[in-house]
Amino acid sequence: MKITSILTEDLIQVNIPGKDKDEVINAIIDLSAKSQKIKDIDKVRQAIFEREKIMSTGVGKGFAIPHGKTDAVSDIVAAFGITEHPIDYQSLDHEPVRLLFLLIGKDSLVGAHIKLLSRISRLMNKEELRNTLLEATSPAEILQILKEEEMNYLDV
Q: What is the pTM of this model?
A: 0.92
Of the listed ranges 35-39, 50-54, 92-96, 103-107, the least confidently predicted one is 103-107
More confident residue, 110 or 146: 146
Q: Going along the chain, which residue ranges are E strands?
A: 12-16, 58-60, 63-64, 67-70, 77-87, 97-106
Residue 138 CB-density burial (10 A; 0-12 exposed, 13-18 middle, 19+ buried): exposed
CA distances from 129 to 20, 54, 95, 121, 126 (A): 24, 28, 18, 12, 5
Mean pLDDT of the chain: 91
Burial class (CB in 10 A: 0-12, 13-18, 19+), 36: exposed
Residues belonging to the active site? 67
pLDDT (0 to 100) of residue 155: 53
Q: Determine whether domain 3-153 maps to CATH 3.40.190.10.
A: no
Write down the domain spans for the chain. Answer: 3-153
Is the pLDDT at 67 greater than 90? The verdict is yes
Residue 109 clears pLDDT 80, i.e. is over it: no
> Residue 118 has what pLDDT?
80
